Structure 1
Amino acid sequence: MQRSKLRHAAILTLVRDRGNLTVANIAAALRVSQETIRRDLRPLAMAGQVVKLHGAVALPAEDSEAPYERRMRENSEAKRAVARHAARHVSDGDSLMLDTGTTTSIFARELLRKRNLTVVTNSSDIARTLATVNGNKVYMAGGELNGDNGAAFGVTAVGFVASFNVRHAFISIGAMDSETGATDSSLDEAEFARMLLKQGERRYVLTDSSKFGRRALIKVCEFSDIDVLITENPPPDDLAAGLLAANVVIDVAPQRGSVIR
């Protein structure tokens, strides 16, 4: 029962993030059979959470605006606070990797204050933001592009980043709790983020506090795979205890207008 509930949540997240999806698309993303997805869709459709189309699934009309643009606006002030604070960890001339995500996209815009960066990413948005400015060098992973967020995923993208070693590796996540660590609803994004963390000397998770205490279907990493968590509000006590036990630095962005010492 618990896994079916997790799949239901993952299905809703996928459809919100990527728009209309076929049963085959969802089954491939979650690595289950199409029949399992069809069974999962029945209660979601009966509850009005999704709408079945010809061979595809969508959100009800009022929720079906462009998913990535909508997520860019969600918790935007918190994400900007995280991004501004994360930029303090990067110096001119550094090498870094960034995965795709709304928080990392906002972070990339904060990095426009830096010079001579070497950037490796699978996000076309991040690549466009940082390429050809300030003496930066940008490497974009190849592979199949996601139609919503314009990011490359799959074996080719993962293999590409595996050939780089950088000073800083930054990932975003879908959820984090004290029992399962960092999780996501997309298998492709989780696999890419997992590889990216392996290639950085210093490994960071960027997330706003709305992700705390939540759990998604697919494991991204253990706490021990992270060096620094950057967020805008302290995590709850149980999550903080797990992070500190794994020697993760919890770096909380100061509130706007406070003095950084």
Structure 2
Amino acid sequence: MNYSPRHGRILDLLTEQGTMGVNDLAQHLEVSVETVRRDVKALAGRGAIVRMHGAIALPSVVSEAPFERRMRENRQAKETIAALAAATIRDGESVMLDTGTTTSLLARALLDHRQLTVVTNSSDIARTLATVNGNKVYMAGGELRSDSGSALGFSAIEFVSRFSVDHAIISAGAVNAVTGIMDYDLEEAQFGNAVLARGRRRIVVTDASKFGRKGLVRVCSFAEVDSLIVDSMPPEDLSEALRLADVTVTCPA
């Protein structure tokens, strides 16, 4: 099927990003929102894209499992963050990771590391790092979520509370200058808080799309975090809040 150059670019962006909003598309294409809306209408009419919850996506993405779909969203930014985080971890060290698409990509970035001790509630992370390079992997028990393959609840929190690790790393649903690190699920927020409490070094990994969001449930204050690893610098108000809390911000040069 033949597409105009701009329509082709929209399809390429969706292949890279997974899902995108109309405003984001307009910024990437450097055209007006009205122009993008006309393009979206034309592409949807040809069955090339699907409109969903204020965003658009390729039909193949809509049929994916929720976790796999999220793995595709902002994939390049998340891989950049994962590489930065992996570079701070040395062979033989211990790492605790919560469930999240960025932490799953971090697990893949750690595949060249050796003799790691890994504690996680994510079946994806456990499968990725177990049985390779002399790693030792401990998997938390509890209710296994069908959407993410993660174990949550009291049993999972009680399990990780037995460990003390070199690096405690969690993902975030929102990073807000006023409320701190936030999430949208109570049990995930509780587990993330428990993870941070067990690390000598406490790290949050998140992409810039989470900056300024309010979230629903507070995970922790900035005072409970040592380092934030991101793909771009936060806006001024957030950067100031992180500075006052003595949080180190790491992003690509």
| TM-score category, normalised to shorter length | 0.7 to 0.9
What's the counterpart of residue 27 of structure 1?
Answer: none
| 1:180-206 CA-partner distances (Å, limit 9, x unpaired) | 111000111100000000000000000
Measure how far apart 1:65 and its partner are: 4.2
Amino acid at match of 2:177: S
SS at 1:120 equivalent: strand
| 1:77-128 CA-partner distances (Å, limit 9, x unpaired) | 0000000010111000000100000000000000001000000000000000
Give the Cα separation in 2 of the matches to 1:216 and 1:177. 8
What's the counterpart of residue 218 of structure 1?
Answer: 217
Whether 2:244 is the aligned partner of 1:245: answer yes
SS at 1:242 equivalent: helix
Give the Cα separation in 1 of the matches to 2:77 and 2:64. 22
Which blocks of at least 5 consecutive residues in structure 1 are unaligned?
1-47, 51-61, 255-261
Amino acid at match of 1:156: S
Amino acid at match of 2:232: N
1:222 and 1:92, CA in 2 relative to 1: closer, same or farther beyond 3 A? same
SS at 1:112 equivalent: coil
What's the counterpart of residue 38 of structure 1?
Answer: none
Aligned-residue identity in percent: 56
Amino acid at match of 1:118: T
Amino acid at match of 1:228: S
| 1:60-82 CA-partner distances (Å, limit 9, x unpaired) | xx957421111100000000000
Give the Cα separation in 2 of the matches to 1:159 and 1:165. 13
Amino acid at match of 1:160: F
Give the Cα separation in 1 of the matches to 2:62 and 2:219. 27
SS at 2:92 equivalent: coil
Whether 2:115 is the aligned partner of 1:105: answer no
SS at 1:126 equivalent: helix
1:81 and 1:49, CA in 2 relative to 1: closer, same or farther beyond 3 A? closer
Give the Cα separation in 2 of the matches to 1:106 and 1:69. 12
Amino acid at match of 2:175: M
Equivalent residues, number: 196
Measure how far apart 1:177 and its partner are: 1.1
Note if contact 1:173-1:205 (Cα within 8 Å) is conserved in structure 2: yes
Cα RMSD (Å): 1.5
SS at 2:110 equivalent: helix
Whether 2:225 is the aligned partner of 1:231: answer no
SS at 2:202 equivalent: strand
SS at 1:169 equivalent: strand
What's the counterpart of residue 136 of structure 1?
Answer: 135
What's the counterpart of residue 122 of structure 1?
Answer: 121
Note if contact 1:230-1:253 (Cα within 8 Å) is conserved in structure 2: no
Q: Normalized against structure 1, the TM-score is what?
A: 0.73
Give the Cα separation in 2 of the matches to 1:187 and 1:252. 28
| 1:30-75 CA-partner distances (Å, limit 9, x unpaired) | xxxxxxxxxxxxxxxxxx969xxxxxxxxxxx95742111110000
Give the Cα separation in 2 of the matches to 1:64 and 1:225. 38
Measure how far apart 1:253 and its partner are: 2.4
| 1:170-229 CA-partner distances (Å, limit 9, x unpaired) | 000100110111100011110000000000000000001110011111000100000000
Q: Normalized against structure 2, the TM-score is what?
A: 0.75
Which blocks of at least 5 consecutive residues in structure 2 are unaligned?
1-51, 55-60
What's the counterpart of residue 23 of structure 2?
Answer: none
SS at 1:204 equivalent: strand
SS at 1:167 equivalent: strand
1:109-188 to structure 2, matched below 5 A, reads: 109-188=108-187
Give the Cα separation in 1 of the matches to 2:125 and 2:187. 18
Give the Cα separation in 2 of the matches to 1:224 and 1:69. 32
